[in-house]
């Protein structure tokens, strides 16, 4: 199978510390790099992870709080200094253009590449990016400012050819793409050869849902149903459930409930409050609801 890797550069600490960086992730889907949030310190984290800056396809910001976007302008400037020529698209809820366009015009006015800002509607789910291998859509979240998560889903691959069967039935190379697409083969004497005899099933479609920052919001469950891997914020434990509600964040247990109800394959929790020196408190709480839960940590790599 082709690569689908999640690199957590910053685990999403609500308050960055030497132990935890704020929210920044990159997702490698078939060697295309997508960035989710762009916190302060993201450039150093990129270098430590040995991710090539110029492989970046697009940046997706969940919301315009500083711990999710303070690294953006510096990264855009650095890409220009590195000689990037390919245009770069940046997506975020309303306010992106007002806040960043004038800064880009001032600090990146001699940039050799074009920076294109897109304001998304955070209150509804829609496809905002698509190419031959991946589709990315918004996930409406509930926070103190307009906020949306992102669902990255690879597109189905063709069926796998059984080379020995193709040779045995004497099927010409010109028909291989049709057979990969699922068509049967009709031999010159009129015999219909079932596609199942000629191919193996395609690789399963993998997907990743990135949901931070948000209060407990069951309305997202249909949008992320059967997701391969879910990242969901778990800022607080049940002990501080009232504070979670007041600040529009979630508890670890609530993250587990979202994963369970959406039938996620794996849950990654992050965006921890600085009050927790030991995140295992949050891990154990989420695992009581959804056992296949792991903690986000700076530098964590997850291969789907």
Q: What is the pLDDT of residue 157?
A: 84
Local confidence band at 175 (pLDDT 50, 70, 90 cut-offs): confident
Local confidence band at 179 (pLDDT 50, 70, 90 cut-offs): confident
Q: What is the pLDDT of residue 20?
A: 85
Local confidence band at 32 (pLDDT 50, 70, 90 cut-offs): very high
Name the residue among 181, 175, 184 with its Cα closest to residue 159. 181
Residues 81 and 96 in one domain: yes
Residues 112 and 181 in one domain: no
Q: What is the pLDDT of residue 193?
A: 79
Local confidence band at 81 (pLDDT 50, 70, 90 cut-offs): very high
Residues 249 and 146 in one domain: yes
| Whether residue 121 has pLDDT greater than 80 | yes
How many other C-beta atoms can be found within 10 angstroms of the C-beta atom of residue 188? Answer: 6
Q: Which of 14-18, 174-178, 233-237, 261-265 has the lowest mean pLDDT?
A: 14-18
Q: What is the pLDDT of residue 10?
A: 93
Q: What is the pLDDT of residue 280?
A: 95
136 burial type by CB count under 10 A (0-12 exposed, 13-18 middle, 19+ buried): buried
Residues 63 and 176 in one domain: no
Residues 222 and 133 in one domain: yes
Q: Which of 200, 232, 267 is the last residue of a domain?
A: 200
Residues 222 and 261 in one domain: yes
Residues 50 and 127 in one domain: yes
| Whether residue 182 has pLDDT greater than 90 | no
Domain of 87? 4-157+203-303
Residues 48 and 147 in one domain: yes
Provide the strand spans (E) within the chain: 4-10, 24-29, 32-36, 56-60, 88-93, 115-120, 127-130, 134-140, 148-154, 160-161, 185-186, 192-193, 199-200, 207-211, 229-233, 266-270, 293-295, 300-303
Q: Which of 47-56, 127-136, 144-153, 225-234 has the lowest mean pLDDT?
A: 47-56
Residues 188 and 237 in one domain: no
Q: What is the pLDDT of residue 276?
A: 92
Residues that are catalytic = 67
Q: What is the pLDDT of residue 159?
A: 83
Residues 173 and 240 in one domain: no
Q: Which of 178, 200, 222 is the last residue of a domain?
A: 200
Tally of domains within the chain: 2
Residues 258 and 193 in one domain: no
Q: What is the pLDDT of residue 104?
A: 96
In CATH, what number is assigned to the domain containing residue 120?
3.60.15.10
Residues 110 and 234 in one domain: yes
Mean pLDDT for the chain overall: 93
Give residue-wise pLDDT tens across range 210-256. Answer: 999 999 999 999 999 999 999 999 999 999 999 999 999 999 999 99
Tokens, residue 283: 């891990």
């Amino acid at each position: 199978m082709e690569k689908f890797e999640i690199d957590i550069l910053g685990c999403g600490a609500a308050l960055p510390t030497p132990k935890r960086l704020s929210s920044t992730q990159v997702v490698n889907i078939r060697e295309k790099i997508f960035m989710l949030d762009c916190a302060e310190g993201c450039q150093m984290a990129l270098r430590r992870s040995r991710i090539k800056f110029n492989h970046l396809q697009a940046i997706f910001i969940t919301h315009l709080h500083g711990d999710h976007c303070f690294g953006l302008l510096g990264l855009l400037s650095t890409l220009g200094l590195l000689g990037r020529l390919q245009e770069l698209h940046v997506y975020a809820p309303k306010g992106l253009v007002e806040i960043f366009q004038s800064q880009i015009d001032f600090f990146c006015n001699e940039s050799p590449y074009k920076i294109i800002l897109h304001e998304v509607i955070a209150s509804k789910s829609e496809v905002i990016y698509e190419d031959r291998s991946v589709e990315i859509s918004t996930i409406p979240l509930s926070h103190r400012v307009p906020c949306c998560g992102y669902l990255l889903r690879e597109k189905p691959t063709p069926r796998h050819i059984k080379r020995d069967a193709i040779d045995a039935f004497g099927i010409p190379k010109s028909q291989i793409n049709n057979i990969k697409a699922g068509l049967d083969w009709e031999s010159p004497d009129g015999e219909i050869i079932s596609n199942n005899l000629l191919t193996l099933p395609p690789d399963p479609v993998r997907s990743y849902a990135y949901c931070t920052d948000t209060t407990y919001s069951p309305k997202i469950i249909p949008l992320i149903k059967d997701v391969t891997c879910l990242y969901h914020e778990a800022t607080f434990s049940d002990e501080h459930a009232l504070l979670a509600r007041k600040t529009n964040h979630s508890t670890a247990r609530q993250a587990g409930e979202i994963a369970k109800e959406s039938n996620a394959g794996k849950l990654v929790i992050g965006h921890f409050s600085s009050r927790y020196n030991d995140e295992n408190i949050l891990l154990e709480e989420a695992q009581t609801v959804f056992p296949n839960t792991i903690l986000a940590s700076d530098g964590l790599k997850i291969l789907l």
